[in-house]
Every structure is written in structure tokens, then in C-alpha cells.
Amino acid sequence: MSNGWLSWRKPCGWAGWFGVVIASFFLTESLAAEPRTELLWPKGAPGAVGEADKDKPTLIIYLPESNANGAAVVVCPGGGYGGLAMGHEGHEMAQWLNSFGVAAFICDYRHRGKGYGHPAPMQDAQRAIRTVRARAKEFAVDPQRIGVMGFSAGGHLASTVTTHFDDGNTDSDDPIQRAGSRPDFSILCYPVIAFDQPYTHMGSQRNLLGADAPAELIQQFSNERQVTKETPPVFLWHTTEDKVVPPENSVQFYMSCVRAGVPA
């Protein structure tokens, strides 16, 4: 939904290193294996209104061919909660992550363009994290090195699962649902964060919550308000050139992380 150039600066810790790596995306050739696609909810997604493809969210799995390092990232493309930018914010990013040995899992989540608002996108993204964690051995990843990455409205979804998570349901008959949904780290790229004025992206807010969402729901998913000391480490990037999603979204989330003592 937006573009911009990264400013180069001296790396400082893991965040600085990752900033340099993000910038190298524009110069890196990918080494991805052929992806495969699986249903996120083989027995039917919660709240599904039909049985068409649009009612069946999927996980697109990209595993590195030979240089796997055990890290994994669930990728949430943007699209204003009304579509998905599956190219540059999905497949291309997954291929790039593979080139560094990182397993990538694109979450093809439900959205308003498919007839779904809240809570379907959050349920699908949480399910994606649970799936990777529950099947970590199969995917050759470390269950404690599973992150989430999102762009624009997909950044809002990534920030949602970063701040709204659980340890899993130990009583569930579904082994996936027994796994926790907390990501171990979060990468937010020009994200929508705030759902209240003046910095929100109204299209994303309306597509997710509806035209007349109650104030309590808007505040609940203004995710800068939901950061706690339990929030995982976060890397954010945004630019002043972004005319779609104000960079104050990232600034507010960063300041919330600082106040909570969360590395960002």
C-alpha cells in the first residue's frame, strides 16, 4: 500500500542488523524451493459462511532449500483488509527470507473482500503461528524462533497477533489449537497500528470492524494501547514519504514498547 526508501545508519544490535538486511532485499536473489499450499483449517474455518475457496484460508509454505537456520516467519501481506498484495508483500518476501535460510509461511487470511471482518483475520493469523509451532519438527524450525511479519494493513494484523495472544487450549482435540499463538518476534513494515483518529487508515478500520464499530472495539484494536511487558521484541520501519499510512502509527507503537520495556 505504500513505498519508500530506507535510510542507512550504523547497525546497533539486532534491530540495526535487521534494518540492513531489510534494505538488502532490493539487491538479493532468492533461493526458494517450490512452495506448497495447505488449508489453515482442514475441518472448516471458524465462522465460515460457505465452502468456496474464499471461505478456506490457506498457509503457503516456503522452506529454504539447503541453508535453513531454524528461524521461521509468518508473513501477512497488506491490502487494507479488503484484498491481499500477494506479490511484493507475499511471495517475493517469502523467497527473500528463504535466501537467508529463514522458513516463510504466507498467511492467506480472510478479509472483507472475501466477505469477512473481525475476528476472522486474527483467527487465521493466530492459526498460522500455531501451525508452524505445532509442526516445528516437520518444518525443521525452532518452535521458539517463530516470528510474524506484516505490511500496511497486514502490519496491523501482525501487530494484533503480537499483542493479542494465548498459550493455546490444552483441552482441544486439535493439536494445532493446543499450541501457543504468541510470536517470538515481530517485524512491522509501514504498519497500520492506530484505529482511532487522527492517524488511522480508515479503509482498514472499516473493512475490519465495520462502518459503525463501537469505541471499545476501536480502542481494543488500536494496538499501541495493547503493548505490555509480555509483548515480544519488535522491529518497525516506516518512512515520511508514506502518504497512505501515517508514520505516526509506527512511532506510537515504538513509544508504547519503550514504556513497557519491550525491545524495539
Q: Is the pLDDT of residue 160 over 80?
A: yes
What is the rounded average pLDDT of the residues 144-163? 99
pLDDT tens digits along 166-220: 999 999 999 999 999 999 999 999 999 999 888 889 999 999 999 999 999 999 9
Q: Is the pLDDT of residue 129 over 60?
A: yes
pLDDT digits (tens, 9 = 90+) for 70-114: 999 999 999 999 999 999 999 999 999 999 999 999 999 999 999
Q: What is the model's pLDDT at position 7?
A: 29
Quote the pLDDT of residue 22. 54
What's the pTM value of the predicted model, to 2 decimals?
0.88
| Class level of CATH domain 27-41+52-260 | alpha beta
Q: According to the 3-state scheme, what is the secondary structure of the chain?
A: CCCCCCCCCCCCHHHHHHHHHHHHHHHCCCCECCCEEEECCCCCCCCCCCCCHHHCCEEEEECECCCCCCCEEEEECCCCCCCCCCHHHHHHHHHHHHHCCCEEEEEECCCHHHCCCCCHHHHHHHHHHHHHHHCHHHHCCCCCCEEEEEECHHHHHHHHHHHCCCCCCCCCCCCCCCCCCCCCEEEEECCCCCCCCCCCCHHHHHHHHCCCCCHHHHHHCCHHHCCCCCCCCEEEECCCCCCCCCCHHHHHHHHHHHHHCCCC
Percent of the chain with pLDDT over 90: 84
Residue 149 clears pLDDT 60, i.e. is over it: yes
Mean pLDDT of 49-60: 98
Of the two residues 11 and 224, the one the predictor is more confident about is: 224
- How high is the mean pLDDT of the chain? 91
- Per-residue pLDDT of 23-46, as tens digits, reads 555 444 445 568 999 999 999 999
Give tens-digit pLDDT for 1-24: 333 322 223 333 444 445 545 555
